[in-house]
Structure 1
Amino acid sequence: MGSFIGHLVPGTAFSVFGLWFASCILQRFFLCARVDVMNGSKYVGKYRSTCSFACPCNPAIPLEGIIKIIASIIAISGEFVTAFEGGKFEHIGNAQHMMMYLFFIIHGAADLAVHYKAAVPPEVDYLTAACAFFMESLLFFTHLHGRSLMDIQVHTYIAFVALLCGFAMLLEASFKSSVVLALSRAFFILLQGTWFLQISFLLFSPLGSYFDRNNHEHMMLVTCIFTGHVALDLLLIVILGVISHRRVRNMSSTAAYHTLHSYAHPATFSKFDPIQVKHIIAGSDEEDP
């Protein structure tokens, strides 16, 4: 991973997943606010979070979990191949990266188990996600020996954000009706991704680097850049929120309900009464011009 590509690839992956989570969470929240229909003592439109989200193109396939597993296997393969020099396994840092990706494979497998309703404990997908981020944080904290001061600094930020990702997953699992906690998960994953991308250009830019890795003033500037990433990622989520709100607002009542009921994760709305669903959809059809 100690290269431009080695940081660019995970940075892109975390950024894409962060934006994906934020978009799905915001759309579900605004859809729930729109579909405010009583079902006994429960609101059908009440927001409830899930660890993974179904792909609208084919909700029956757990595409998110499959991508996590395949991407992690590819990453492990790359780390293994590049760890050898002269026929010997020389780069122990690659072994740490491989262990990090292993836990994301476990999390992907938990996603599949939950999707197919296997006999697994409740919230095992959240637990394995939190474990993956905690292990990532641990490995990065112990991955900095003998490096330059700036190298230690930027990777310490990654370890810190990964730790926050883990705590965000556990809190979200405990309070699934909180959209703020769900968005916190998406934000920290996005921040981890954009900061990985920044590291690739700070330390391994193919165009050459302006930064002196042991210069105190340059390190202070790096901290300013990191806080800029925090602000930029918050802005990106706000923009996604505006787009999602307008999209849901422009839907008909029928389209909004169908989208919420069809594309949501199965665990979110498992208590729906099929007969009540038909009445709700029929009623919304009558309301629309």
Structure 2
Amino acid sequence: MGSFRGHALPGTFFLVAGIWWTVKYSIWHATRRNKGIGSTRLASRASQRRLEIIESSVILFFSLVGMLAEQFGSGGPKLQLYDFVEKHWDHLHSWHHATMYLFFGLFATVSLIIHTTEAAPLALDRLMLAIAFFNEGFLFLYHLHGRSMLDVHVHLLLLYAVFGETLVAFLEIFHRGNIILELLRCTLTVVQGTWFWEVGFVLYPPRGPEWDLKDPNNMMFITMCYSWHLAFAMLIVSVLYCIVSCAVHSRLKKTPPVEMGLLKARERDPESEDELM
């Protein structure tokens, strides 16, 4: 991540993930709220499982891409952890970043196992997601030694979103399907995504003058920027939730009467844990 592109890659990943999760959870919540008008066709158990499998596969793919980029990209360690000639650890920052991607890959792998087999409890995916976020924050916390004041500050601000996601994902183990927790995680994920881009522009500006990394005024401005990022993320999630909810409700209202009758029997089934993916 020691470059603009190195911050843009995870930033894009988290930004897309946050937006996707917002749309997905909004659809599922809207269909649960509108069960009386034939919503099962939009979010059946089978379709939810398919979405989870596709999502986990994409996360696993990008985690592998991230690990390979950190290891074999320009200036990467190429799997060499220790330089026996110079007698020191080699490219530890890249190893830290690769380890972060590794844990998200583990989360995706566990999620695939859960949604393709009956080998593990459903809540295990939220536990693994919480562990992945915690590991990311833990490594970032001890990733800042010897850096300039502004460099440390922008990364510490990132930790508020990361550890917030850790807590929310952990709470979801016990309150799965809670739309407030889900949208809060989406918001913090969007914040993390946009903030990675902000860090890239601050530390590795692709054009224009470089930032003074020791200026206290820059720290004050960046802190205010973080609040703007949070407000932007809240706005994005809120707008997406409203659009999706209205679209789902509008579509369900147009369900033909004959189809509505065919769906009634299915809607009488009690909601199971599988419906709260």
TM-score band w.r.t. shorter chain: 0.7 to 0.9
TM-score (norm 1): 0.79
1:85-96 alignment to 2 at 5 Å? 90-96=90-96
- How far has the Cα of 1:31 moved from its partner? 1.8
Q: Give CA deviations for 1:127-148 in whole Å, capped at 9, x if unaligned.
A: 1100000000000000001111
Alignment root-mean-square deviation, CA: 2.9
Alignment partner of 1:19 is 2:19? yes
Secondary structure at the counterpart of residue 207 of structure 2: coil
Task: Give distance in 1, aligned partners of 2:9 and 2:165.
Answer: 19
Match of 1:99 in 2: 99
Match of 2:275 in 1: 269
Tell me which stretches of 4 or more aligned residues in structure 1 moved more than 2 Å. 82-85, 87-90, 208-211, 252-258, 266-270
Task: Give distance in 2, aligned partners of 1:232 and 1:242.
Answer: 15
User: What letter is aligned with 1:268?
Assistant: D
Task: Give distance in 2, aligned partners of 1:130 and 1:143.
Answer: 20
Q: Percent identity?
A: 28
Alignment partner of 1:84 is 2:90? no
Match of 2:201 in 1: 201
Alignment partner of 1:155 is 2:124? no
Q: Is the 8 A contact 1:54 1:63 kept in 2?
A: no
Match of 1:276 in 2: none
Query: Which structure's residues are more often helix, by fraction?
Result: 2
**Does the C-alpha gap of structure 1 residues 177 and 62 become closer, same or farther in structure 2, counting only changes over 3 Å?**
closer
Q: Is the 8 A contact 2:77 2:94 kept in 1?
A: no
Q: Is the 8 A contact 1:75 1:101 kept in 2?
A: yes
Question: Which consecutive unaligned segments of at least 5 residues does structure 2 have?
Answer: 84-88
Match of 2:224 in 1: 224
- How far has the Cα of 1:177 moved from its partner? 4.0
Q: Is the 8 A contact 1:79 1:98 kept in 2?
A: yes
**Does the C-alpha gap of structure 1 residues 145 and 237 become closer, same or farther in structure 2, counting only changes over 3 Å?**
same
Task: Give distance in 2, aligned partners of 1:126 and 1:221.
Answer: 35
TM-score (norm 2): 0.82
Q: Give CA deviations for 1:48-97 in whole Å, capped at 9, x if unaligned.
A: 9x9xx949xxx377111111111111111111123239x85731111111
Q: Is the 8 A contact 1:27 1:245 kept in 2?
A: yes
Question: Which consecutive unaligned segments of at least 5 residues does structure 1 have?
Answer: 38-43, 271-289
Alignment partner of 1:111 is 2:111? yes
Task: Give distance in 1, aligned partners of 2:155 and 2:51.
Answer: 38
Task: Give distance in 1, aligned partners of 2:239 and 2:275.
Answer: 27
Task: Give distance in 1, aligned partners of 2:94 and 2:61.
Answer: 18
Count the aligned residue pairs: 251
Task: Give distance in 1, aligned partners of 2:129 and 2:236.
Answer: 23
